[in-house]
Amino acid sequence: MRTIYICKSLISLSLKNTSHLNKTPISLLSLLFISSSPETPITVAYYLIDRHKFSVEIALKVSSVVKYVKRPEETDSILSFLQESGFADTHLELLIKRMPEILSSNLERTIKPKFKFFQDLGFSSGDVVEIVSSHPWILSTSVDKRLGPSILVLKSVFGSNMDVYGLLKRHGGYLKNDLAKTMLPNIEFMKNCGISLSQITRCVYNCPRFFLNKPTRIRENVKRVEELGFDTKSKMFLCAIRTISSMSIEKWELKLEVFKSLGFSEDDILSTFRRQPQVFAGSEKKIKVITQLLLSTGKCDISYVVNNPFFLALSVENNLKPRLRVL
């Protein structure tokens, strides 16, 4: 343990002195880390730096989680396979940094089946590299129990690998969930509410966590929106449901109080919500600042804000203030 501590201290010193970064003291590291034979365990820091030319920063980060490479030759095979599969050095370092345990995984039973699964579905090598490097936990997830069923559900919704790839790049969490118990029931319920599939797929892509809510919660929120007098045929109906779903009842009540304190009547508040539901997803501070800024001009009143609620969704510094200065 003292040897590892001394080595880490030496590496830390080398990081502080940038003149040494271009010529890492590998010979010194070798003296401290080198094993008596290739089959015996070696420290992760030495292994990554000396054998695979990883950066010192990444090696130290990984070594704080995994101390030793127990079977160097098997780990060599894993890294070689990833490189042959299209992983560039940057992808490889990102993957190892996020999931150091991959160094001790089983190549044949754990890693290769995941790549084969995606390739059999028609994903390109580049797609697989991007998905896996963005969400390395995929390599430790069961193909039969989780990945397979989830991907098939996504393909049934989107229809193309390109769209599924785009979604997974943004939110790989879909592969962690049982979509047959969350996403599919929610989509079917939305369709029964009269919401078009094109609206639904856009919402899945732009607001991925929404459809992972429990179906019971989605139904409760739809009921709340309908009780607010929202027109179910409105194109903003889905947006209203999503906005209501993003906050607790207590948070919703707090926003209503803010509007009332600014001079909005109950009818004004409901009208604003029906016209621009996403405004209510903003912070109470933003709602207050924008409303007060518009009223301070002396050119508009509350009715103007109600009729033009999109103002409440704009950026104060980047949109409103520059335009008001011009006017």
Amino acid letter for position 38: P
Report the C-alpha gap between 261 and 263 in whole angstroms: 6
| pLDDT confidence bin for 39, thresholds 50/70/90 | low
Question: Is residue 248 helix, strand or coil?
Answer: coil
Question: Is residue 267 helix, strand or coil?
Answer: helix
Tokens of 219: 């139904």
The residue among 57, 100, 56 whose CA lies nearest residue 75 is 100
Please say if the pLDDT value at position 127 is more than 70. Answer: yes
Report the C-alpha gap between 43 and 75 in whole angstroms: 13
As separate numbers, helices (DSSP H) first and strands (DSSP E) second, the chain gives: 20, 2
Q: Which helix (H) or strand (E) holds 43?
A: strand 42-43
The residue among 240, 269, 238 whose CA lies nearest residue 255 is 269
Please say if the pLDDT value at position 27 is more than 60. Answer: no
Looking at residue 36, its pLDDT comes to 40
Q: What is the DSSP string of 97-155?
A: HH-GGGGGS-IIIIIHHHHHHHHHTT--HHHHHHHHHH-GGGGGS-IIIIIHHHHHHHH
Tokens of 254: 């707090």
The residue among 208, 141, 217 whose CA lies nearest residue 176 is 141
pLDDT tens profile 193-237 = 999 988 998 888 888 889 999 999 999 999 999 998 888 888 899
Q: Where are the domains of the chain?
A: 181-246, 251-327
pLDDT tens profile 245-304 = 999 999 999 999 999 999 999 999 999 999 999 999 989 999 999 999 999 888 889 999
Q: Report the predicted TM-score, pTM, of the whole model to 2 decimal places.
A: 0.70
Length of the chain as a residue count: 327
Mean local confidence (pLDDT), 110-121: 90
Place of tokens 């518009």: 294
Tokens of 8: 């880490």
